[in-house]
Amino acid sequence: MGYWNKHPKKDGQDALEEFHRLGWRIGDPPKYYQVKCPCGWHMTHVHISPSNPNHYRQRLQWAKRQSCTKEEDQ
């Protein structure tokens, strides 16, 4: 587990751990987690209780499409 407060849902915690593995910084929530890319240009939110069942998967897909994440993977 990382330096952020644990996500109440397993899928959410798994997504945050994947963001961390990709080098993204994670901010603790009032209502959502704020995640920022390694270069500082990209940011998104991971909600605590999203209405979209694919929210976590879609946030990770978006993050992996960013150029700074691709540079980290190489």
Sketch the domain layout of the chain as residue ranges. 10-65
pLDDT band at 1 (very low <50, low <70, confident <90, very high): low
pLDDT tens digits along 52-66: 999 999 999 999 998
pLDDT tens digits along 21-34: 999 999 987 889 99
Q: Which amino acid is at 54?
A: N
The pLDDT score that the predictor gives to residue 30 is 81
Domain spanning 10-65: which CATH class is it, in words?
Answer: alpha beta
Q: How far apart are CA 32 and CA 54, in angstroms?
A: 16
Q: Is the pTM of this model over 0.85?
A: no
